[in-house]
Amino acid sequence: MDARAALAFFLPDQPVVSIEPLGQGNVNDTWRVTLAGGGRLVLQRLHPHVFPDVAAVMANVRLVTAHLARAAASGLAFFRLVAAPDGRDHCIDAAGCCWRLLTHIDGTRTLASLVTPAQAEAVGDLLGAFHLLTADLDPDLLADPLPDFHVTPRYLAHYDAICRKHSRTNDKRETFCREIVATLRPTATFLENARGQLSRRVIHGDPKAANFLFAAETDRAVSLIDFDTVKPGLVLHDLGDCLRSCCNRVGEHGADPEAIVFDPDMFQALMSGYLRRAAHLLVPADRELLVVAAALISFELGLRFFTDHLEGDRYFKVSRHGDNLHRALVQFHLNRSICWQRGDLERRLAGLLP
Ligand code: GN1
Ligand code: MG
């Protein structure tokens, strides 16, 4: 099925003016659809290998979007699912791919990476709002479409299995990655070992910079998108992922991985936005392990990119072989930058806490 055929399923009688690729997602395919009346919608095809349990993903998206619909009054607007005339909100094509249609949030823009502390503060504020708005949603009502997602030791076990299958090359960058993984291996269990003391809740799962929508003309963050990874998890999975993404001003594809810096001013701004709204959601162990979580999620994502590179780019989209190796280097250098600055970051965080 192609995008036009999928649209005909959802909107059988609506003339479509254009269908253009949208965003830079690493996994799914997304298009912006413009209808004859000028209305816009977002069409998506889920990656069948990454999301084998489509029913679980769709059940979560349905539950969370309905829950967030109450947020309209708070000045935030979240997308909704658009159903076909027969009421179905997704369809599976002959190749086994899932298609769905979403409302478009007009008057907004995305940023592949953040550049100003004001943007980071707005993101922290919105992530806090998302956690508050979903605080009364029992995490156990959600399905778990990706059971090992953010369980770092599982990614490490998979990496080990892949290394056993593939012989080593002499590529210096691959050697660097292997050494980093060997060095960081003991840190992989840090969050898993502390699970009992950490807040478990509904998480977004992927609150990277590009998943926040900003108002077209200002640095106000007005929406959070991409709910495929919404699931029960740790608040530190979300904060760690948001920090590793938003405090890296050159983004995940930064030209020179060795020059990647985790920006402490962006960290302070993001956390001040989050804490102003949602400080009471964090327990003492969440606060103690926050900087560790940012370092760990950087390591984890680097490990995921590097493993996918070794496996032949089966999970993350690439334009050429080597893209995942480059992305892995960026995350490993980011981890180093966080570790070098840990004392300063923890002092800054302590200064923000009530
Ligand atoms: C993937 O597909 P996208 O771009 O929303 C990945 C995230 C990573 C992110 C890094 C389901 O997200 O975990 O943090 O790339 N999503 C999945 O850009 O694995
Ligand atoms: Mg995502």
Three-state SS string across 209-266, please?
HHHEEEECCCCCEEEECCCCCCEEEEHHHHHHHHHHHHCCCCCCCCCCHHHCCCCHHH
Query: pLDDT, tens digit, for every residue of 274-316?
Result: 999 999 999 999 999 999 999 999 999 999 999 999 999 999 9
CATH number at residue 259: 3.90.1200.10
Q: Which of ligand 1's atoms lies nearest the C-alpha of 211?
A: 5
To the nearest whole number, what is the mean pLDDT of the chain?
A: 95
Domain that holds residue 242: 110-352
Among residues 89, 106, 123, which one ends one of the domains? Answer: 106
Q: Which of ligand 1's atoms lies nearest the C-alpha of 226?
A: 5
Of 215, 179, 10, give the one whose Cα is nearest residue 103: 10
Give the model's confidence band at 73: pLDDT under 50 very low, under 70 low, under 90 confident, else very high: low
Give the model's confidence band at 208: pLDDT under 50 very low, under 70 low, under 90 confident, else very high: very high
Q: Do both 206 and 267 map to the same domain? A: yes
Q: What is the pLDDT of residue 321?
A: 97
Nearest CA to ligand 1 atom 14: 206
Q: What is the pLDDT of residue 75?
A: 81
Rounded to the nearest whole angstrom, what is the distance from the C-alpha of residue 7 to the centroid of ligand 1?
A: 25
Give residues whose Cβ lies within 5 Å of ion ligand 2. 206, 226
Q: Do both 142 and 159 map to the same domain? A: yes
Q: Which ligand is nearest to the CA of 23?
A: 1
Higher-confidence residue of 271 and 69: namely 271
Q: Which of ligand 1's atoms lies nearest the C-alpha of 24?
A: 4
305: tokens are 């990119």
Among residues 73, 106, 139, which one ends one of the domains? Answer: 106
Rounded to the nearest whole angstrom, what is the distance from the C-alpha of residue 50 to the centroid of ligand 1?
A: 10
Q: What is the pLDDT of residue 137?
A: 95
Indicate the pTM of the whole model: 0.97
Q: Is the CB of 226 under 6 A from ligand 1?
A: yes
Q: Which of ligand 1's atoms lies nearest the C-alpha of 229?
A: 11
Rounded CA-CA distance 98/45 in Å is: 6
Among residues 106, 126, 149, which one ends one of the domains? Answer: 106
Q: Is the CB of 323 under 6 A from ligand 1?
A: no
Q: Which ligand is nearest to the CA of 317?
A: 1
Spatial contact of 137 and 63, defined as CB atoms under 8 Å apart = yes
Nearest CA to ligand 1 atom 13: 206
CATH number at residue 98: 3.30.200.20
